[in-house]
Amino acid sequence: MAVTVRAFFLAACASLGVGLTGPAAAAETKVFENSFGRVEVPLAPRCVVSLHDLSLTTQLLELGVKPCGSTGRKKLFSDALFRGAQPRFDVAGIQYIGSHQAPDLEAIAALQPDLIVGLSYHAELKEKLDKIAPVVLLPAREADIKTYAKELAELVGKQQRYQELLAEYQWIVSEFAKRVKEPGRITVTTLEVYPDGFQLIGRSGMDDVIADFGLGRVAAYREARQNVPYSLERIGDFNSDFIIDTYEEMLDSEAGTAAFRSSPQWQSLFAVQNRQFLYLNRSRFADTMQGMIGSAYLLMSHIAERGYKLQQD
């Protein structure tokens, strides 16, 4: 259609036209392949644009790559916030390019990137983005953190940094295994409480860590669907040895959900009665390798390095 319109316009103007030219070719390239396809990408990308701050921007920074542009959260009259990356990393020089659901393609084009990284749901923008720079989609929603972080590290040539992070994480997992002999007996529920209910969500890679530690889940949790809102009435179904919730300082979520936690249903939970309810800062880490490492250390301290009670005992 573009070509048709252009041809029409050029004919009308009696001018000679040319077809659209693609993005500037990088000096050296390699072929990157994952479940979303094969893409020819620069060997050493100069300007990487990230379409998701919480997963990709933060993971890039952890790998030692500062993206030139990133999506983020922004209110109308305030500065953009790159979730997960701030305040842990210096984000000066990262250009805000809009929200992750509606990135400003012109802002991306203005940066003249040589690589764009996004998530699976950015597939609908891929055709347009491909005309700006090579686009690689990563399975942050479809696979675990280690998988997509490994792919990202390969993409930007930071495999060694990834291996260092992985080694540290695996060391914590092995340390946990040494101290906790039958982790499957310990049940854990990760959730997020809201003023009017709760959802089963494990932030900062916590669910990956729980799986790698071999900790158990109650039957209701195993059968439940994630990201489905539950009412307070259902909280008893997820009565576990440990319950992990997170708070968001910026949203003052602790005060907003205080009524939920003072309810009799909540107070009667095993974890609450035995001081095995963990309330963690959800912005401390992102869904990244360092997020997993942080979550692993937290669980190590709160489960492996202290006494606890189990419902089975």
Query: Which residues are near another protein by CB under 8 A?
Result: 1-2, 5-6, 9-10, 13, 15-18, 20-24, 74, 76, 96-107, 109-110, 112, 121, 123-125, 127-128, 131-132, 227-229
Q: How far apart are CB 282 and another protein at their closest, in Å?
A: 14
- Minimum CB distance to another protein smaller for 40 or for 164: 40
Whether residue 87 has a cis bond before it, omega within 30° of 0? yes
Q: How far apart are CB 52 and another protein at their closest, in Å?
A: 9
DSSP 24: P
CA atoms within 13 A on the CB side of 189: 30
Listed in sequence order, the residues at least 6 apart from 255 whose beta carbon sits closer than 8 Å to its beta carbon are none
Q: How far apart are CB 184 and another protein at their closest, in Å?
A: 29
Coil, strand, or helix at residue 107?
A: helix
- Minimum CB distance to another protein smaller for 70 or for 239: 70
- Minimum CB distance to another protein smaller for 163 or for 226: 226
E strand intervals along the chain: 29-34, 37-42, 48-50, 69-70, 95-96, 115-119, 135-138, 188-190, 192-194, 197-199, 242-247, 277-281
Q: How far apart are CB 99 and another protein at their closest, in Å?
A: 7
In 3D space, the residue among 187, 164, 292 whose CA is nearest the CA of residue 238 turns out to be: 187
CA–CA gap between residue 204 and residue 257 (Å, rounded): 20
- Minimum CB distance to another protein smaller for 120 or for 160: 120
- Minimum CB distance to another protein smaller for 9 or for 171: 9
Q: How far apart are CB 279 and another protein at their closest, in Å?
A: 21
CA–CA gap between residue 275 and residue 284 (Å, rounded): 22
Q: How far apart are CB 271 and another protein at their closest, in Å?
A: 26
- Minimum CB distance to another protein smaller for 74 or for 261: 74
Q: How far apart are CB 9 and another protein at their closest, in Å?
A: 6
- Minimum CB distance to another protein smaller for 38 or for 141: 141
CA–CA gap between residue 114 and residue 67 (Å, rounded): 11
Q: How far apart are CB 121 and another protein at their closest, in Å?
A: 7
- Minimum CB distance to another protein smaller for 100 or for 150: 100
Helix ranges, 36-136 (H): 58-63, 105-111, 123-130
In 3D space, the residue among 206, 155, 130, 175 whose CA is nearest the CA of residue 44 turns out to be: 155
**Apex CA 274: angle with CA 271 and CA 278, to 5°?**
50
CA–CA gap between residue 131 and residue 157 (Å, rounded): 23
